[in-house]
Structures are given as C-alpha cells and as structure tokens.
Structure 1
C-alpha cells in the first residue's frame, strides 16, 4: 500500500514564517540576556553611561584625604552592601595603597578618576591620554586589575574624553542622581537628594575628606533604597547583560 502526503503550499509558507520568527525571537532574547553591548558604542561615536535599566548603583569619588573613606567602607560592611563602585584618582591611590587594598578586599569595584584632579574640558586629547595612562600605570603597580570604568575628575567631559577613553578600552561613567554631599548641605538634605533615585539610577557620592557628612547620611540612604525593593549593584553589573541608557556629548 502506498501512502501519499500532500502538503498545502500556503500552510507550508505560514509554518515556515512562524518557525523563522520564533528562531529570531529566541536569538534576540539570548543576545539581550547574555551579551553585553557597550554603552559607549554607536555610529555617532562613544557615549557616556549615566543610567541603566534596573537596580541602583552607588558610586563614590575619592580624590584626596584619608579620613572619610574608611568610615564609609565600615557603613557599607555593617549594612551588608557587597556592591558599590569607587572612582579613585591615581595620585590618591598611590598615596593610600592600604585603603585601595581594603576597597578591593571588600569586593567593591574600582574605576579611574583620572590621575590628577584636572578639568578634562581644558585639556587636549594628548594630555587627557597622558593623565589616564598615568592613572592606569599607578593601579597596575598596586595590582588592581581589570579596570573598565572611567569618570572625568571634575565630572566635565566632551567628545575628546570619550574618544580617548574608548581607545584605551574604558567606559566613561557619569551619574543620574547627584547627592551634592560635597557641599555639606546637611545629612537630611543629602538623604533627600538621593531619595529621588529610582530603578536604573547611578548615584554620585564622595568619600574624599571634603565630604564630611556622607558616612552619616549613608545608612538612611541604604534603608530608603531597600524600602523601595531595589537592589544595590556595581556599575558594571548594572550595564552588563542589558542595554544601558546613554548620554551623547556634542
């Protein structure tokens, strides 16, 4: 007995379309979940990351002083905060190797805050490269490896900074919420400034000696974030495995 299977051409085409669509959907989801797309890339040139898609990242700039960093590390430890990002000036790191070692030992992420405290808007590309390269060398000597993030020392940058950082393999990180703790406006004011933070925000804080109220403001800040059901992560964790919002600099 012979059996004949007759395929309807129209149904076959519809089936193929469904299969192909399902394949590309699955592939897209795979890429979205497992492949990091650098936030600074794009046909219009490198961009600065200032916000992610989920969670919250606390970032601390340190450019000088040796009194305020340790109390902040103690507060983070007391509240079981295992993820934060510290942007360190290379010159500060050289002067305070023990504090750098402690930050690394506690498992926090380190980014580069240049070497000297200079406004990158006032420097040409060669001087920006020299400053970042000098910082890079300082951290190598301190055995701090795999640094991927850079923040402009004064927070001011343009395409020059972005291009140089990109060529050196760094992502420039800005922020979406400014605590203004360096102005020492009072603990309540700092907490109020950070209370505006929501999903995906990168928060700017300082652990330099000029920021005298940050360690005191940190516990209520942490409690506020936890009350919102948000997780504290490092900047790298925030921007990995997801597309990050970017801020284009003209």
Structure 2
C-alpha cells in the first residue's frame, strides 16, 4: 500500500502523540509505612524536607527540647544557604538523620517541559543522575555521613526516575501522613490532621519556611502525639513497606 506525503505526516504525528502519552504517565507519590514490628509499639517516623529557603530554627529547637528524632531531607541549595541550620543539625546527630533531597530541588520526572506544582522536571536521565548524586555528595562533605534515602522535589516520581534512583543505590522515601502540605496549612489544620495519626505512619512536613505556620502547628501536633504514647523513630532505625494503594483518604484531607 502506498501512502501520500500528507498521510505519512499524519501517521508520524499520531505515533509521536501516542508515544508521548504512553511514556509520560502521570507522576505518582510513593506511599509507605513502617513495617510491622515484633513488639506492639506506637512507632511513627517524622521526616522533614528542607528544600531551599531558610532554616526553621523554632521547629528544630522544639524537637531537640522534646527529644523527638527526625529524618531530615536536605538539598545542596539549603545546605549552602543555611550554615546555622547545618551547625544545629550536626550538633544533634543523635536525634537527626540527614538524607538526600537533591542538588537543586528538581522533581524526579523525566521529559522536557514536564512540571509538578510549577517545578520543571529533568530533561533526561543524565540530569536526574546529577540531581541525586550531587545532593548526596553535598551531604557527605557537609554532614560527614553518606545518605541512604532519596526524596525528590514535590515527592512525585515517574517510573523511569524510580528505577534510576534505585539503580544509583538509594531507597525512595515514601510517606503515609502529609502533615503540612508543603508548609501551606495553617496551625489549626495541622493540629487537626494529627488527630488522625496512626501507629506506623511516616509523616512528611517541612522545616524551611519559618514564615509559615508549620513550626507552631507541628509543635502542637507532635506534642499531642507524645502525650498519646507515640514513639518517634528515624528511617535508619526501622524497616519500611510500600503501601499498595497510592491514594489514601488521609493524604487527600
């Protein structure tokens, strides 16, 4: 069968659109909880993202005062801009584990022009590799400990990025409890969310926006959790398990 030039052009365009649709699936969040423990304990894990921006000293001061462990995901950008925050973290490595949030806070999605929450993703695998490895190098040189976990900007990924991050030797840090929605919630909303905290939850929140309500809301919510008998752990102290359902009611709330 012989096709005209116009038919071939239409076929090529249709093929490209099909490939784009199939290779660029909607980015997903990775939801995970603590694996069941041998002993019945109300363990939960607090993870804090330090994307760029400033250092929420009030929040870390509260965690230190209450002796609440946390796993902190930092970018190279944040490390470079916040020497005071670095000093506080390094002085409390018995409480805080420091993990990789990337070099420049670029989402782990591959493809030119793709964005998540207004953040541009990576044009190709090579750029993703740099984002992950340069972020890790900055932590190793600044904190003195090599990271084992990775959380991408926006905490959304595509399948290709997840495969590459794992190939580089890093575990994806999922979560089950979104406490402050990118440091956008007001104090009361954060406190109300903590009323739904459950044993095994992995909390995601932020410590890079002191102008937000995150510090006050998290301090109040975490204090209530302590009173209820919750025990806080770092990710390096427990095993994790991926949740089969990528969407939960509590994440939408």
Calculate the TM-score normalised by the size of structure 1: 0.71
The change in CA–CA distance for 1:94 and 1:172 in structure 2 (over 3 A counts) is same
Q: Match for residue 133 of structure 2?
A: 133
Give me the whole-angstrom Cα distance separating, in 2, the residues matched to 1:191 and 1:175: 18
Query: What does 1:15-30 align with in structure 2 at a 5 Å threshold?
Result: none
Structure 1 segments unaligned to the other structure (5+ residues): 1-46
Q: Match for residue 50 of structure 2?
A: 62
- Which portions of structure 1, spanning 4 or more consecutive aligned residues, are displaced by more than 4 angstroms? 246-249
- Between 84-93 and 143-152, the greater mean CA deviation after superposition: 143-152
Aligned residue pair count? 198
Compute the displacement of 1:197 (Å): 1.6
The change in CA–CA distance for 1:198 and 1:169 in structure 2 (over 3 A counts) is same
The change in CA–CA distance for 1:95 and 1:183 in structure 2 (over 3 A counts) is closer
* TM-superposition CA deviations, 1:163-182 (whole Å, max 9, x none): 22212211111211111353
Q: 2:33 aligns with which of 34, 51, 65?
A: 51
Q: Match for residue 111 of structure 1?
A: 99
SS of the counterpart of 1:66?
Answer: coil
Compute the displacement of 1:151 (Å): 0.3
Give me the whole-angstrom Cα distance separating, in 1, the residues matched to 2:125 and 2:245: 18
Compute the displacement of 1:119 (Å): 2.1
Conserved in 2, the CA contact under 8 Å of 1:184 and 1:211?
A: no
Q: Which of structures 1 and 2 has the larger relative contact order (alpha carbons within 8 angstroms, sep 6+)?
A: 1
Calculate the TM-score normalised by the size of structure 2: 0.70
* TM-superposition CA deviations, 1:54-91 (whole Å, max 9, x none): 511111111122242x111101112122x111110112
